[in-house]
Amino acid sequence: MGEIVILGIDTSCDDTSASVVVDGRRILSNVVSSQTEIHRFYGGVVPELASRRHIEMIIPVVQEALSRASVELKDLSAIAVCYGPGLVGSLLVGCCFAKSVSYVEGVPLIGVNHLEGHIFSAFLLEEAPQFPFLCLVVSGGHTSLIRVDGVRQYREVGRTRDDAAGEAYDKVAKLLGLGYPGGPIIDRLSEEGDPETVTLPRGLMHEGFDFSFSGLKTAVRNLIEKIPKPISSDTLRNLCASFQEAVIDVLARKTFKALESEGLQRLVLAGGVAANRALRERMALEADRKGITLYLPPPQLCTDNGAMIASAGYFHYLQKNFAGIDLTAKAYLPVG
């Protein structure tokens, strides 16, 4: 078998992304068109605006990915597209485009679960993880602990019962008037704050491996209402540091308890919030202390991208797990 060249497409939320990956490991191109400036005014992603922008950008983004990779459509082994979970209008753009190209060019089509894509972002590292391993997928829409025993062998060990961690970041940033997206702003302010100045709750800390961040968000809102206005810069930094410490503390402690419970020694950290400086530092420190091998994709592979979809698509290709022309977008799509 020669080289397997996969075009990966992700339009699950507000980034239009396409990537060409060889043999599931080697990235030839990875193009992402961000919509942050469009949605910043609203303090969050507006689904209708997101889908319209995807329609405008899908062709130029794919063309750019092919051009950077020096690849033509006829050179592709398959097209892998994210078909869920996510914003259904956004997903439809990627799915319809991929199905059209697949049909016209006669290129096999592969449907990839968005969470599965995040899992396989670790396979784009120089050293890929061996099965089995635990993956913490933490992003604006998801916070899940997933046991991975092989390709298409996934079991959710824990998940958020309400807000995802990234969603909590954005909502707290909005309460503080910090802007969107909230994660990078809070992370930056936290560097100069003291996380011990404010005591904040840790949801479900002693109840299995599920997460809850809605109570934390409410606690921050209640604190803000009591703080004299305008909020001083020192108070703002301390509040950001305390909030971030509460989120990371829950994520880290539950993840390493799950590793112990599952008898696993390998951990993958993935998803947009995995780009967070403090979370990466805490996970690396804990992994080193407990003898856990940590696989940490670079920040550009943590946020939504086509490369992770292409990598997952490669492993589906090896199993001949192809999709038909009836592949459609699914807003809700459990992994596994």
Q: Are 307 and 124 in contact (CB under 8 A)?
A: yes
Coil vs helix vs strand at 201? coil
Nearest to 334 by CA among 170, 208, 152: 152
DSSP state of 128: P
DSSP alpha helices (H): ranges in 23-87? 36-40, 47-69
DSSP 161-199: SS--HHHHHHHHHHHTT--SSHHHHHHHHHTTS-TTSS-
Q: How many CB atoms lie within 10 A of CB 132?
A: 16
Give 288-327 pLDDT, tens digit per residue: 999 999 999 999 999 999 999 999 999 999 999 999 999 9
Tokens 């807003």 belong to residue: 331
Q: Rounded distance, CA 45 to CA 260, Å? A: 37
User: For residues 101 and 62, what is the distance between their CA atoms, to the nearest angstrom?
Assistant: 11
Q: What is the pLDDT of residue 2?
A: 83
HSE value, Cβ hemisphere, 13 Å, CA-based, for 77: 20
Per-residue model confidence (pLDDT) at position 41: 86
The topology under which CATH files domain 5-122+301-318 is Nucleotidyltransferase; domain 5 (3.30.420)
**Does residue 39 contact residue 24 with C-beta atoms inside 8 Å?**
no
* Segments in the chain below pLDDT 50: none
* Chain-centre distance for alpha carbon 193: 26
Per-residue confidence (pLDDT) for residue 173, from 0 to 100 = 94
Q: What is the pLDDT of residues 182-220, one digit of tens each?
A: 899 999 999 999 999 989 999 888 889 999 999 999 999
- Is-cis flag, bond preceding 85, omega within 30? yes
pLDDT score of 1: 59
Q: How far is CA 116 from the centre of its chain?
A: 10
Backbone angles phi, psi at 23, to 5 degrees: 55, 30
CA–CA gap between residue 6 and residue 27 (Å, rounded) = 10
Numbered ranges of CATH 3.30.420.40 in the chain: 5-122+301-318, 131-296
Residue 72's pLDDT is what? 96
**Cα 10 → chain centroid:** 11
What stretches of the chain adopt beta strand conformation (E)? 5-10, 16-22, 26-33, 78-84, 109-113, 133-138, 143-150, 153-159, 266-270, 293-295
Distance CA 276, CA 101 (A): 36
What's the pTM value of the predicted model, to 2 decimals? 0.94
List phi, psi (to 5°) of 308: -70, -35
CATH of domain 131-296: 3.30.420.40
Both tokens assigned to 146: 């997933």
Cα separation, 57 vs 61, whole angstroms: 6
pLDDT score of 206: 80
Residue 130, both tokens: 């061996």
Write down the pLDDT at residue 192.
Answer: 93
Q: How far is CA 143 from the centre of its chain?
A: 9
Phi (first) and psi of residue 149, to 5 degrees: -100, -10
**pLDDT value for 213:** 94
Residue 169, CA distances (Å) to 36, 177, 179, 198, 237 in order: 15, 12, 11, 17, 14
Please name the residue that has the structure tokens 């202390």.
289
Q: Could you tell me how many residues make up the chain?
A: 336
Residue reference for tokens 């990956």: 21
